[in-house]
Structure 1
Amino acid sequence: MLSIVLPVHGVERFLPQCLESLRSDGAAPGEVELIAVDDRSPDRSGALLDAHAATDRRMRVLHLAENQGLGGARTAGLAEATGTYVWFVDSDDWLPDGTIDAVLAELRAETTRDLPADVLLTDFTHVYHDGGEEPNPWRHVLAGSPLVSGCTAAEHPALFNSVLAVWNKIMRRQYLLDLDVHFGRGYYEDISVTYPLLLAADRLVYLDRPCYRYRRGRPGAITATASAKHADAFAQYDAIFAFLDRDERANRLRTLVFDRTVKQALTIYDTPGLVPVELRAEFFARITGHFAEHRPAGYRFPSGVRGIQYRLAARGSRRAYAELRRGGRLPGAVRRGTKAVAPGVKKAMRSSARFTAYNAFRRLPIDEHLAVYAAYWHRGYACNPAAIYEKARELAPQVRGVWVVENAARAATLPEGVPYVIVNTPAYLKAMATAKYFVNNVNFPHTMAKRTGTVHVQTQHGTPLKAMGMDLREHPVAADGMDFERLREAVARWDYLVSPNPHTSEHFARAFPGTYQTLDTGYPRNDRLVHATTEECATVRRELGIAPGQRTVLYAPTHRESRGGYLPLLDLPALAERLGSGWTVMVRTHYFHDGGAGDLAARPGSARLLDVSDHPSVEDLYLAADTLVTDYSSMMFDYAVLDRPIAVYAPDWEEYQQVRGVYFDLMKEPPGAVATEQDALTEALLAGDPEPAARQRFRERFCPWDDGRAAERVVSRIFPVRK
């Protein structure tokens, strides 16, 4: 039924885990065979295989007299295979528990069909050397597609945007042999098989179960190794197009295949540390040759900047390509033709001068005493970065802080005396190019590259109830086109991630996989809440115009991806009428929504409705409020520091869970009273503090580090603090 071919070379450290993972409890005798190929391994791998084979009757070991490389070892194993299906498993990876049995069940079902699958694709997990894990980044291309029930590549061409390696593809052995394709030698050896395998199949099927754990980024992996062998890709491309020339149906997707191979070749060229410096000119010339030899008739370049990159590669214009990649000037021929190219190219040209300046500033020494701060996409002085900035002025005064803001209007909102630069000005470009420290609660622009020796501190801006980061791949509506590859690049720049509580540390490690250090410190912005006095709270209320003795509610709903802009689920005038004139209801819309809370007119004798959406400090609003009413906003976790009543109004909890995804059941672990209807919420507010025990449990889980010294702990970790 299933032959597993295991090429082995220099993986003594990883081999036992791999072999153990290939065991099966549900396979019938003879249903699985293991063919291990010792590719003249220089370590004890061959002996480990023999020892394992002595205890596992399913396994045969081939010892090759000469090293054949990964492709040659797979070919040797395939020649010995007898199964209906064959799976090429890399010996430094492993399979999750129960995988063999799950795959066999799927293959048994396939063999009973009139048209059994030629290829079974499986889901997988990336595993990093530091223990971090990442779900399949391309699952959204596969799950929920026609592949689940079975289709051809032509019926789902987006398949080629997913990983094209061989290890997550289980193929009908006779189908593979009939294709008459072969693994190449050297790097990227499997694509000369996987492309034809997918292109010619009568039926491709996707098994939506993580069946493979791929060890990513380990020392020695080709994706992290500088070598002349990266040029081996071009021989594999030649083999792919030779197959297209002789297979009419596969050739119908020639343009798609060509575009995908060009993208891969340029990615190899652009990735730092892969192509040795002395070979880069030759590699680029090979890309140009690839265009000349394999470009399909009638091929049209992609739109935007990518299309310009392809044009330059096709012409062999390596210097112009380099200038475009780093944001410099475009060649004259391209500039003269800008009326015919996409708006994205014009934008790249308009920005070229500032990136030329940025790259010039990057040649200056790093300023060891300069820190750049920003918050909420350069909207102003706020959140954790503001608290860190203030504490750094006290504990590390030798480090100058400068804030990035998007325009002069934002600059006018900064506290007096806070230095700033405006986005895209020369002062901004110089600060971004030379600063030692970077502190932000979102990511800095991807065009601002991280220099060796700089320190990037990511604070984020809330404890997550809702799914975040890479976890959003399971929730496409909430992800709304998020570029997960770009996110991964951003996370790779982080040196530190500030966490407010153990819950956040746990989930952010998965949502934002990386090599950064997590600072389990608590949120610096909440120090103010810990230290707040009765006098400070009274002052804030006076500044907001709240009369003494008023019972004050802060209503702060979160953003809902499925509903677009601000849509109040509460009938605020009706709520104000029920509460009466002794109340004030402050309304704070999410910062994604412009225009505030709209018309808040209330009848005489009702509570006062006060739109505080544009108030610069949410901490002020916390201090002014006697009670918080929210739904799924992270504000509940911060407000809990004050140990004041919280009410959750969640009329759409089931929908929100499905669309956004959540990390725990808020209905079972709320911070206070929970209501799904407005009348019940009103009664909870009028009752005063109906759920103090729930709030206590919530505080114990989410506020254990809130002792008023979080900013001090962060500053002491990232800056040279004066004793």
Structure 2
Amino acid sequence: MPEQGESAGPGRDGSGGPELSVVVHGRNVQGHLGACLDALASQASPGVEVIVAAVGASAQAAAADRPGVTVVPLPDGTGDGAARAAGAERAGGRWLHFVASKDSVPTGAPRAVADRTADLAGDRDRDRVDVLVVDHLRSTWRHQGMPSPDGKHLAKQGRRDLPLADCPNLLKVTPLLGNRVLRADFWRAHRAELAVDDETFAAYAALLLADRVATLDQVALNVRELRAESIPRGAPEERYAVIDRYESLLNLVADRGLPTAARGALYDVMVGDCLRVVAREKLPDPVRREFFHRASKAAVALRPQGHQHPGGLEGVRRRLLEEDAYTKYRTFQTANQQRRKLRSAVVSRKHKVGVKVRDLRYRRALERPVDPNLAVFTAYWDRGVACNPAAVAAKLAELAPHIRPVWVVSAANVPLLPPGTDHVVPGTRRYWEVMARAKYLVNNANFPNAIVKRPDSVHLQTHHGTPLKRMGLDQLDYPAAAKGLNFHDLLARVDRWDYSVSANGHSTEMWERAYPSHYTSLDYGYPRNDVYYNATAADIRAIREKLGIAPGKRAILYAPTHRDYEAAWTPRLDLATLAERLGEDTVLLVRGHYFYGGAASPLAGLRKSGRVIDVSSYDPVEELALAADALITDYSSIMFDYANLDRPIVIYADDWETYATTRGVYFDLMAEAPGKVACTQEELTELLTSDAWHDAAADKARRAFRHRFCEYDDGRAAERVVRRVFLGESEDSLPPVTPVDERTPAPTPEEATTR
């Protein structure tokens, strides 16, 4: 590491060090750090270095092993200010560009910034440009690359470098530290004011403390604006800090002796921000009233002498603020809202107070108290008792029998329910009553839009697989996958979640990115996978007998996934030929819907002989996995669950490029497969008719895959979920997750025959 002031590589100014240090800092928020570093790592050069002040293990893992990137590991809980300081301490560049880990830097931007800062060098005695202000883009979950409103302010200054007194309008530039590139010596001189967690304060302070400011009318930052619902919520009273921030900044203006124009520009920013908090943020009325009172005192005390109110409605708002007329202000605000509603009937319907519920019975039921001993379960859009909800319900009956489970099941699937299952059919009178009064609502998909999240109810989202394909908001760029999905409605459903169950760190990260909201991730494992560690040899023998698999036969489960880009199911394997090549000692369990009909079908004889068994409608799928000696799949999430059994997995990927391009994927399965990969039926047949499907290389790949994706599955996931969610036990009191290498999966079919 270079000492303070030493250089780490050649820069354009001849100092020997890099011209620019891009300092990426913070946690791996919603899994965005990897994309940020992918874009930056390729742009590192002798004049541009990349430093990552990585907070926590997830960020450090995302930053590891990237060429051209220097990682500064920091413990969990390190604040943004401290992370920036740690990254800057390690940096060797003359200029520092701080980039939050959730954001990204467009291609070519570091080089353009480095060129601009090198041009600012000039005479060393007169080189007092401290801050370079750059342009940025904004991206949200819905829209990418939206231009900022700052271009006009940057363009006005051109290539000149000026004191802030001569360009006070730069205080109207969006207050981000990432759109201010700082001279390293300037940062060191003012680290106390700039290395703070409040980025808005640091962004304004950088301009106020600078001797001279330059601009670059070019985009050098892409800011990812996270959904407010996905950001941890602080106490409402914390918003008082907005007023404290501007009082400190305006005092700094006075201390620096900046002219009236700069003070007036910052004062206008303060008043505008305070009025936005009062008008738009969801605060309890006492807190809102107190905020207004404090903002009023600041507006009066800090108003520059001779400062004029703007005209129109904004001027009215400001006068009411200075008068501390909270009631009048709220009345004025309500009148304006009513005026807008009258102009648009559609808008008025969308903004009605309260929840619009179509069913009268449901509205009435919502007025009754929540039943603390009632739990609603459903799986796969009301298909029946299945998946993670079923495993949670079973453990609930064992650990908390006082809580009554009721299953939501479609009318068509009611005959398939286990005898004695208490259930309701969607849309019925009892359905609405149960949905309104249940304390616990458990689903592996999502409840309908009309369901109201009551404050004292608990929504548990269990999911139904580890994601390879892109999910949620990550489908925005994949219309074949989204198929008209209303993402606003999706997020409204996600906002009802209190807990989200995860089987591994990959899933946790992807869920937080694809479904950004305020829920708590439960890194406990998938309850449905408990059976892979708890099933006995007798269980496996019984399942195989039920399926008609003769003792000593090799059973291979073939479970392909659906293609979003196909209108109908397309057979991907010639099962008759494959079965013939594999011989009489192999049974194919096929979970798909493309069997030939009629007595003349090539499969007819194989099906009659039991060498090909259609298990497309067989539930639960976990029993099929336990019965199988090996799995063949393409991109189905069953591979992640089956890996718990530590049995061979073969990937048949005849259309990987098409699938990955059309559906979108989170990682390259071809490079990180859980075993051998075949791209043609001939390759697949050769693997299965030799020892290659379970050789040392296949075992090594499966071991790595299992460590990554079976991280929390150890046979006690359901217990952890029930104890935490239903019994309210603390995180520390739950059974710890057993390390992967210390677990013993259920016996293989071969082992089961000898026990």
Class of the TM-score when normalised by the shorter of the 2 chains: 0.5 to 0.7
Aligned residue number for residue 707 of structure 1? 714
Aligned residue number for residue 695 of structure 1? 702
Alignment partner of 1:378 is 2:382: yes
Does structure 2 conserve the Cα–Cα contact (< 8 Å) formed by 1:132 and 1:510? no
Name the CA distance, whole Å, in 1 between partners of 2:616 and 2:179: 48
Q: CA deviation at 1:465?
A: 1.4
Alignment partner of 1:83 is 2:161: no
Aligned residue number for residue 339 of structure 2? 286
Name the CA distance, whole Å, in 2 between partners of 1:278 and 1:396: 51
From 105, 115, 119, the counterpart of 1:26: 115
Name the CA distance, whole Å, in 2 between partners of 1:617 and 1:632: 20
From 486, 500, 513, the counterpart of 1:483: 486
Does structure 2 conserve the Cα–Cα contact (< 8 Å) formed by 1:396 and 1:721? no
Does structure 1 conserve the Cα–Cα contact (< 8 Å) formed by 2:230 and 2:516? no
Name the CA distance, whole Å, in 2 between partners of 1:687 and 1:221: 70
Name the count of aligned residue pairs. Answer: 492
From 356, 365, 389, the counterpart of 1:326: 356
Does structure 2 conserve the Cα–Cα contact (< 8 Å) formed by 1:648 and 1:670? yes
Aligned residue number for residue 531 of structure 1? 534
Name the CA distance, whole Å, in 1 between partners of 2:224 and 2:463: 25
Aligned residue number for residue 602 of structure 1? 603
Deviations 1:668-694 (A, max 9, x none): 221112100101111222235232222
Residue 340 of structure 2 aligns with an amino acid whose one-letter code is I
Aligned residue number for residue 263 of structure 1? none
Q: 1:88 to 1:657 in 2, by over 3 A?
A: farther
From 391, 398, 414, the counterpart of 1:394: 398
Residue 226 of structure 2 aligns with an amino acid whose one-letter code is V
From 360, 364, 368, the counterpart of 2:368: 364
Name the CA distance, whole Å, in 2 between partners of 1:89 and 1:462: 47
Q: CA deviation at 1:506?
A: 2.3
Residue 399 of structure 2 aligns with an amino acid whose one-letter code is L
Q: CA deviation at 1:25?
A: 2.6
Name the CA distance, whole Å, in 2 between partners of 1:597 and 1:124: 51
Q: CA deviation at 1:94?
A: 4.4
Alignment partner of 1:545 is 2:548: yes
Aligned residue number for residue 688 of structure 2? 685
Q: Which moved more, 1:637-646 or 1:598-607?
A: 598-607
Q: CA deviation at 1:540?
A: 1.2
Alignment partner of 1:634 is 2:637: yes
Name the CA distance, whole Å, in 2 between partners of 1:129 and 1:469: 17
Does structure 2 conserve the Cα–Cα contact (< 8 Å) formed by 1:596 and 1:613? no
Q: CA deviation at 1:707?
A: 1.8
Q: 1:131 to 1:612 in 2, by over 3 A?
A: closer
Secondary structure at the counterpart of residue 396 of structure 2: helix
From 412, 437, 447, the counterpart of 1:434: 437
Q: CA deviation at 1:89?
A: 6.3
Name the CA distance, whole Å, in 2 between partners of 1:648 and 1:312: 51
Name the CA distance, whole Å, in 2 between partners of 1:123 and 1:490: 28
Aligned residue number for residue 717 of structure 1? 724
The TM-score normalised by the length of structure 2 is 0.57
Alignment partner of 1:56 is 2:130: yes
From 163, 178, 192, the counterpart of 1:95: 178
Q: CA deviation at 1:424?
A: 1.0
Q: 1:380 to 1:428 in 2, by over 3 A?
A: same
Residue 654 of structure 2 aligns with an amino acid whose one-letter code is P
Structure-to-structure mapping, 1:37-48, within 5 angstroms? none
Residue 224 of structure 2 aligns with an amino acid whose one-letter code is T
Q: 1:188 to 1:54 in 2, by over 3 A?
A: same
Q: CA deviation at 1:662?
A: 1.8
* Structure 1: gaps spanning 5 or more residues: 1-12, 33-52, 60-73, 101-117, 134-184, 191-217, 231-235, 240-274, 292-307, 328-351, 590-594
Secondary structure at the counterpart of residue 562 of structure 1: coil
Structure-to-structure mapping, 1:184-583, within 5 angstroms? 222-224=280-282, 282-283=335-336, 285-290=338-343, 309=346, 326-327=356-357, 352=358, 354=359, 356-407=360-411, 409-583=412-586
Does structure 2 conserve the Cα–Cα contact (< 8 Å) formed by 1:440 and 1:457? yes
Q: 1:287 to 1:97 in 2, by over 3 A?
A: closer
The TM-score normalised by the length of structure 1 is 0.59
Name the CA distance, whole Å, in 2 between partners of 1:485 and 1:188: 31
Q: CA deviation at 1:622?
A: 0.8
Secondary structure at the counterpart of residue 507 of structure 1: helix
Q: 1:21 to 1:667 in 2, by over 3 A?
A: closer
Name the CA distance, whole Å, in 2 between partners of 1:588 and 1:188: 63
Q: CA deviation at 1:128?
A: 5.9
Name the CA distance, whole Å, in 2 between partners of 1:124 and 1:499: 28
Name the CA distance, whole Å, in 1 between partners of 2:658 and 2:405: 43
Structure-to-structure mapping, 1:635-650, within 5 angstroms? 635-650=638-653
Name the CA distance, whole Å, in 2 between partners of 1:607 and 1:98: 70
Secondary structure at the counterpart of residue 489 of structure 1: helix
Does structure 2 conserve the Cα–Cα contact (< 8 Å) formed by 1:371 and 1:399? yes
Alignment partner of 1:126 is 2:225: yes
Secondary structure at the counterpart of residue 689 of structure 2: helix
Name the CA distance, whole Å, in 2 between partners of 1:79 and 1:506: 37
Structure-to-structure mapping, 1:146-165, within 5 angstroms? none
* Structure 2: gaps spanning 5 or more residues: 1-78, 86-95, 100-109, 122-126, 134-148, 161-168, 184-216, 233-267, 293-309, 314-327, 734-755
Q: CA deviation at 1:223?
A: 4.7
Deviations 1:384-406 (A, max 9, x none): 00000010111111211111112
Secondary structure at the counterpart of residue 56 of structure 1: strand
Residue 603 of structure 2 aligns with an amino acid whose one-letter code is A
Aligned residue number for residue 173 of structure 1? none
